[in-house]
Structure 1
Amino acid sequence: MRIAIIDLGTNTFHLLIAETKGDQFKILYKTNVPVKLGEGRINDNIIIPTAFERGIHTLKAFHKTILSYHVDKVKATATSAVRSAENGKDFVRETKKLADIEIETITGDEEAELIYEGVKLSGAIQEKSLIMDIGGGSVEFILCDAEKLIWKKSYNIGAARLMQQFFKSDSISDEDKNAILNHIQNQLEDLFEVCEIHQPKKLIGSAGAFETFAELIIQKNKSNIDILTAKTYEFDYGDYIATTIQLINATHDERMKMPGMIPLRVDMIVIATLITNYVLGRLKINKLVLSTYDLKMGVLATQL
């Protein structure tokens, strides 16, 4: 069977087309577009008109690609930006009408579950671990071990939300940084309580910002690794910390010039860095692994 999976993220829309046979799959096509659906007023729970139009335009293009691959089934999932927006249902309705794509808006819990399934498919979960997926609208945490999912929760502290609310300086000021960290601390108390009980040994970063961290380090070290084809990447902790210090201290223009940086993440990577480093420090974890498999691969896993 040929299946198309669309992941409508707050920052990026992804399209993946795969051929499945039993529990095996082959990826035929994948692309992503920086739609920035959460641009401008995500904290007011509104998709602004220009972002709305970009989203519809992108999904029309996805529909053409899907038709050209003679797909049997389409699974489109929308996450934080659509589920929290007052006009999210309008976006879903217009997509059906103009792009002939049926969107399912999933809950934060369902999102976390699918991220877990995707990461599990990558083989990254070898021991008791905390999976972290930093989106534009929300951040999902999943506590798990090699056999099972233990605990999961979605928090509305995504990079686009925090950037619009707190990030007003260039480079980021101590005042902005402290405001972000205080907000994170207040939001994540129950996460730290459950981790105190279960003591995860490793943080697994699900795609997104963690791919950018990896790409920055790979380019800096001139390593012969292709993140586009890798399922996982194990960070050298010293390299990771050095890179994140550089990111936090850099200006927008300095980050833009870093080899491996993509324009979409130039500013949001600072927020991702602050959240990740706070979690690593609070939980005393110094093992960090990237899983390039994320929500869309989790959706694929449910279809096998």
Structure 2
Amino acid sequence: MIIASVDIGTNTVLLLIAEVGETSFEITPLLNEYKMPRIGIGLKLSGRIAVERIEKLFTVLSEYKSIISKYNVDNVLVTATNALRIAANAPEIVERIKKQLSWNVNIISGKTEAEFAFLGAVPVSTKNKNILVIDIGGGSTELILGNENSIEYRKSFPIGSVSVTENYLKNSPPLDMGLRELKIHLETIFTEIKNKVAPDLTYSIAGTPTTLFCMMNEIKSFDDSIVEGGILKHGDIAKLIQELQKLSSEEIRNHYGKIMRGREDIILGGSIILLNIMELLHLSNVIVSSRGVRYGAIVSFLNGMQNKG
């Protein structure tokens, strides 16, 4: 069986085409595509996804439709997260996707997003441990603690790399006052996790950790196989944040090149969120994963098939 899974996020729209084992349900990626239409820009202020961003989204989705048509795909799963959860014009966008591309969009709750992130990111071989998954998106951050038996804690926090940038890091380079206010805000919003989350292993997924890993290891072109399983250390992240705070978005883009395209203005905000969580939980390192919701959507779909069967 071949399944295509599209993840419509606040920053990125991701495509996974994967082959699934007939009996084992093992997911083998055939293709991963990453595009950044950044539909969440200005969403917090206006409450709507801007017309120009909608057009960028449909350019990406149309390209993905063309790619999918070249594979013998049995099912197409389209999952949407925070941006379409909160946008007032989400219904018309979903309707247009249905009409134009013949895809049904599943706008998932923060709770379900957390579950999908966990299902997608955590290898079967580690699920006998207590695993924490940190999923920093553009408009929300999900924390999920679980093991092979159950999910013990999950929460979606309404804060992400785009929203903290728009609210606290508008200047480029950022002002010291904005950095201080952001730190206070993060400590307040995440304070509950200190006594509720005690993981054996921690995975960090999505664009922030994968980009950080590429930056630290001078990787110029993103490759899932190189990034997957990489380690980010607390001290290295803290050091890089100190450097990024002094640079404008343009300087960041020029220094790090193609790997930073479309993320140069928000990588600092995402990095600060990650470091704050690590400090609250006294984590010395996190494991990087490029997997997440799009993989979890397939796992959830397969689990549903098993239950029906």
Q: How many residues align?
A: 298
Contact 2:139 2:163 in 1 (8 A): yes
Q: Structure 1, unaligned stretches of length 5 or more?
A: none
RMSD, matched Cα: 2.3
Structure 1 pair 70–45 and aligned structure 2 pair: CA distance change class (3 A): same
Q: Does residue 164 of the first structure (1) align with residue 162 of the second (2)?
A: no
SS of the residue corresponding to residue 186 of structure 1 reads helix
* 2:246 partner amino acid: N
* Identity rate, percent: 25
Distance, in Å, in 2 between the alignment partners of 1:236 and 1:227 is 20
Distance, in Å, in 2 between the alignment partners of 1:26 and 1:10 is 26
* 2:3 partner amino acid: I
Distance, in Å, in 1 between the alignment partners of 2:172 and 2:98 is 41
Distance, in Å, in 1 between the alignment partners of 2:125 and 2:270 is 24
Structure 1 pair 228–149 and aligned structure 2 pair: CA distance change class (3 A): same
Give the superposition deviation at 1:171.
1.4
* 1:57 partner amino acid: T
What's 1:288 paired with? 286
Q: TM-score, normalised by structure 1?
A: 0.90
Q: Does residue 228 of the first structure (1) align with residue 231 of the second (2)?
A: no
Distance, in Å, in 2 between the alignment partners of 1:175 and 1:123 is 44
Q: Does residue 258 of the first structure (1) align with residue 255 of the second (2)?
A: yes
Task: Identify which of 224, 240, 247 aligns with 2:237.
Answer: 240
Distance, in Å, in 1 between the alignment partners of 2:299 and 2:174 is 39
What's 1:154 paired with? 156
Superimposed CA distance per residue, residues 198-231 of structure 1 (whole angstroms, 9 cap, x where no aligned partner):
x3354321131100110011118x9xx9742143
Structure 1 pair 236–185 and aligned structure 2 pair: CA distance change class (3 A): closer
User: Which structure 2 residues correspond to residues 1-40 of structure 1 after superposition, within 5 A?
Assistant: 1-21=1-21, 22=23, 23-40=25-42
Superimposed CA distance per residue, residues 145-164 of structure 1 (whole angstroms, 9 cap, x where no aligned partner):
46542100111101112212
What's 1:297 paired with? 295
Distance, in Å, in 2 between the alignment partners of 1:226 and 1:158 is 22
Contact 1:216 1:243 in 2 (8 A): no
Distance, in Å, in 1 between the alignment partners of 2:290 and 2:16 is 13
SS of the residue corresponding to residue 103 of structure 2 reads coil
User: Which structure 2 residues correspond to residues 1-304 of structure 1 after superposition, within 5 A?
Assistant: 1-21=1-21, 22=23, 23-121=25-123, 127-145=129-147, 147-195=149-197, 199-219=198-218, 227-230=223-226, 231-259=228-256, 261-304=259-302
Superimposed CA distance per residue, residues 36-67 of structure 1 (whole angstroms, 9 cap, x where no aligned partner):
11112334321011011111222122222222
Distance, in Å, in 2 between the alignment partners of 1:123 and 1:262 is 32
Contact 1:203 1:280 in 2 (8 A): no
Structure 1 pair 50–275 and aligned structure 2 pair: CA distance change class (3 A): same
Distance, in Å, in 1 between the alignment partners of 2:239 and 2:127 is 25
Superimposed CA distance per residue, residues 12-33 of structure 1 (whole angstroms, 9 cap, x where no aligned partner):
1111111212222322222111
Give the superposition deviation at 1:98.
1.2
* 1:54 partner amino acid: K
Contact 1:234 1:288 in 2 (8 A): yes
Structure 1 pair 194–216 and aligned structure 2 pair: CA distance change class (3 A): same
Superimposed CA distance per residue, residues 125-149 of structure 1 (whole angstroms, 9 cap, x where no aligned partner):
6743432111011110112246542
Contact 1:121 1:293 in 2 (8 A): no
Contact 1:201 1:285 in 2 (8 A): no
Give the superposition deviation at 1:257.
2.7
SS of the residue corresponding to residue 288 of structure 2 reads strand
Distance, in Å, in 2 between the alignment partners of 1:239 and 1:155 is 25
Contact 1:63 1:101 in 2 (8 A): no
Distance, in Å, in 2 between the alignment partners of 1:90 and 1:277 is 37
* 2:4 partner amino acid: A
